[in-house]
Structure 1
Amino acid sequence: MSGKASVLRALHQGRAADDPLVLPGPWDAASAAVFADAGFPALATPSAGISASLGYPDGQGTPAAEMFAAIARIVRAVDVPVSADVEAGYGLPAEELVERLLDTGAVGCNLEDSDPVGRRLVDPREQADRLAEVRAVAGPELVINARVDTYLRGDRTTAAAVERGRLYAAAGADCVYPILAPPTQLAELAERIALPLNAYCKPGGPSPRELGVMGATRVTFGGGMQQQALEAVKDLAAGLLR
């Protein structure tokens, strides 16, 4: 196993409830360097933030080549492990997806269980088979964060998320990410799925530390950090016209 993959996997283990793994979401090399210099032990790229920086709406046609190139630039800019959000995998077969991910230098990935075209949930067993293929090809070289989109696509029950989470755990996922799960459900999800749980931290919601106490092992921010940075740029631009 590569050193950085081993480091990233270990960062998910043995964490205190009030000390979750906080992974900022860089959208380019410059923002990645800022987060790494601040002392964060690893980073997790957001597809939404990178897509916005490249001029594409999230989930609506960012070319795979541009996404992988952006991830590679981020990885080159820092010494810490980087996990990459590659949405649903851009329709690539597992072998090519893993090859292209590893070529960027990333040692982790997000894979979501929504169909990006129809914006519907993929059958959970089909997604589990897909994750198993990725695991078989990657071995221990990728830390797989399996995103569960039931809360995003309308079924907000813990039962639906747990069913998918357990299937993905059995398929070899290292972490499960029930995006938009209510914080009050995190503890039950973590207990029943029995894998490190990734929670989404959104502005105005619980802090990363609070999400950890509520059951999250890992906290990410989606495209929120890029959006906040853009708001600061808007304020800067407005100030120049005063």
Structure 2
Amino acid sequence: MHAQHKPLVLPTVWDAWSARTAVDAGFLALTIGSHPLADSRGAGDQEGQSFEEVLAAVRPIIAAVDVPVSVDLEAGYGQKPADLIAGLIEVGGVGLNIEDTVHSEGGRVRSTEEHASYVAGLRAAADDAGVPVWVNGRTDLFMHAQDASAVLDEAIGRLRALVEAGADSVYPVGIQDDDELLAAVTGAITVPVNSTAHPVRHDLDRFRRLGVGRISNGPLLQWALTDTVKDMLKPWTP
């Protein structure tokens, strides 16, 4: 799908209803986002749920649709790569997002070598299981930096290390509104580059021109829906 659709758009869903709605709209694959999933369950993002709780929550979402589903597994919830892959496969997931901010350990950021090693462990575990799990390797370096352009070289080096470790795509969070940074990253990386996109404020053709190969929404689809619902309900408030 990533080869056929450039970019491949995967709406970020959070429950069976949103998943079915996206599929009914014509989408061929989905992502489940940690932030919208947490919000829908009254939990906190940034590993505010346990791995077991996340698996229990995503199982019925995946079962509700007949398309491939990737799951945002944050920094791995303290799990070994093999256990993360085993749990994902058991609930029917075929892809995952893995980030380098370890919220369960005070929000520290993994080093390039540590994050690449974790991705390599995920790839090896998936290969051992005989399931071609799609690994989307995320970095939060841009988001943490006061000046995103100042960490461009470091971020590209980290993303390349993730590709070498077995990531199928990479996800530099926080630069979706910066044409120059997005183009620099896509021009330097050989696999699809994932970008966050707002379903109303952003434009698909722009992302295509910038070389983005994969699009997800993070919490922005849920937030856009929240704004719409508020507007609909406002005339009915006391």
Gaps of at least 5 residues in structure 2 are none
Q: For 2:162, give the aligned amino acid.
A: Y
**How far is the alpha carbon of 1:13 from its aligned partner?**
1.5
Residue 198 of structure 2 aligns to a residue whose secondary structure is coil
Which residue number in structure 2 is paired with residue 175 of structure 1? 169
Measure, in 2, the Cα distance between the counterparts of 1:49 and 1:81. 19
Q: For 1:138, give the aligned amino acid.
A: A
Q: For 1:187, give the aligned amino acid.
A: A
Q: For 1:12, give the aligned amino acid.
A: H
Is the 8 Å Cα contact of residues 28 and 74 (structure 1) preserved in structure 2? yes
Gaps of at least 5 residues in structure 1 are 1-10
- CA 1:162 to 1:81, structure 2 compared with 1: closer, same or farther past 3 Å? same
Measure, in 2, the Cα distance between the counterparts of 1:60 and 1:87. 7
> Match for 1:97 among 81, 84, 88?
84
> Match for 1:135 among 101, 123, 129?
123
Measure, in 2, the Cα distance between the counterparts of 1:63 and 1:179. 23
**How far is the alpha carbon of 1:14 from its aligned partner?**
4.8
Q: How does 1:11-160 map to 2 (within 5 A)?
A: 11-15=1-5, 19-116=6-103, 117-139=105-127, 140-154=131-145, 156=148, 157-160=151-154
**How far is the alpha carbon of 1:236 from its aligned partner?**
4.1
Measure, in 2, the Cα distance between the counterparts of 1:73 and 1:213. 36
- Of 28-37 and 195-204, the range deviating more from structure 2: 195-204
Is the 8 Å Cα contact of residues 19 and 61 (structure 2) preserved in structure 1? yes
Residue 137 of structure 2 aligns to a residue whose secondary structure is strand
Q: How many correspondences in the alignment?
A: 229
Q: For 1:136, give the aligned amino acid.
A: A
- Of 165-174 and 225-234, the range deviating more from structure 2: 225-234
Q: With CA pairs under 8 Å and 6+ residues apart, which has the higher RCO, 1 or 2?
A: 1
Measure, in 1, the Cα distance between the counterparts of 2:181 and 2:195. 11
Is the 8 Å Cα contact of residues 31 and 216 (structure 2) preserved in structure 1? yes
- Of 185-194 and 78-87, the range deviating more from structure 2: 185-194
- Aligned CA-pair RMSD: 1.7
Deviations 1:41-78 (A, max 9, x none): 10011110000001022215122222112211111111
Q: How does 1:168-207 map to 2 (within 5 A)?
A: 168-181=162-175, 182-202=178-198, 205-207=201-203
Q: For 1:143, give the aligned amino acid.
A: W
Residue 188 of structure 1 aligns to a residue whose secondary structure is helix
**How far is the alpha carbon of 1:148 from its aligned partner?**
1.2
- Of 127-136 and 148-157, the range deviating more from structure 2: 148-157
Which residue number in structure 2 is paired with residue 235 of structure 1? 231
Residue 144 of structure 2 aligns to a residue whose secondary structure is coil
- CA 1:183 to 1:66, structure 2 compared with 1: closer, same or farther past 3 Å? farther
Residue 143 of structure 2 aligns to a residue whose secondary structure is coil
Deviations 1:142-170 (A, max 9, x none): 10000011111116232011110110000
Which residue number in structure 2 is paired with residue 3 of structure 1? none
- Of 82-91 and 149-158, the range deviating more from structure 2: 149-158
- CA 1:163 to 1:105, structure 2 compared with 1: closer, same or farther past 3 Å? same
Q: Does 1:208 align with 2:198?
A: no
Residue 152 of structure 1 aligns to a residue whose secondary structure is helix
